[in-house]
Amino acid sequence: MVLTGRQILTRLSSETPWRRLYLLPMGKLTIENDAASVDVHLGQHFMVPVQSSAGYLDPSAKADGAMASRGAVDPAMWKHHLRETMVPIDGEFFLHPGQFALAAVYEYMKLPIDLCADVVGRSSWARVGLIVAMATFVHPGYAGCLTLELQNLGQMPICLKPGLRVAQVVFRETTDSIEEDHELEKRPWPDQLACSYAPEYWEIMKKKDRDLLRDLGIGARGVQ
């Protein structure tokens, strides 16, 4: 079930820890009762891929030895293919046609254990060619500043500024409607409060994925 504006406001002020939704800083946040999402804004941190001598990115390879020369998509190696940029609060970031970038949102969000969320771009940006949050699903219990994937599919550079509304978050309940508070209370509750305000990236393939490819005999030369 998608939460309405009234239900989101109730969650933001809930005194029950395992049901409370955090969205900070609140500032002048206003949510209409008939709304079904919350807007999030661009932060100051961006990551942009840069040209590399690596021939290609191979997610099945590890970032060590010969594998590193192939441009493995292990975070340890991927970091060398990204340029980090911190834009002043009154500054500008230009996303050129065909360019891809990672960006952190301004808001810190912490989900309770019975809510998940979807992050979707705003239609006004899509109409000028900016694709936002192409693959963003937020799991229950998440705590941090969301990372957005941005791509300019238009023909002209797009000027982005910290504080712009670029995406919206839709919240959905994940628990069974018959579940009681005392059952929710027994679930593990993350105590994470601190987080990075910069975009984050993760390893595309885990060891179990590599093992599966090896067992299937797929890409045997690149799988370790």
- 149 in catalytic set: yes
Q: What is the pLDDT of residue 92?
A: 95
Query: What is the average per-residue pLDDT within 173-191?
Result: 59
Q: Decide the pairing of beta strands 143-144 and 130-132.
A: unpaired
pLDDT in tens, 85-106: 999 999 999 999 999 999 999 9
Of the pLDDT bands very low, low, confident and very high (cuts 50, 70, 90), residue 135 is low
The answer on pLDDT for 15 being more than 50 is yes
- Write the CA distances from 77 to 36, 203, 205, integer angstroms: 39, 10, 13
Query: What is the average per-residue pLDDT within 121-139?
Result: 86
Q: What is the pLDDT of residue 223?
A: 46
Out of 92, 149, 179, 200, which one is annotated catalytic? 149
Residue whose entry in the numeric block shows the structure tokens 């192409």: 134
Query: What is the average per-residue pLDDT within 14-30?
Result: 80
| Nearest one of 207, 36, 29, 176 to 113, comparing CA atoms | 176
The answer on pLDDT for 129 being more than 80 is yes
Q: What is the DSSP string of 83-105?
A: EEEE--TT--EEE-TT-EEEEEE
Q: What is the CATH number of domain 5-216?
A: 2.70.40.10
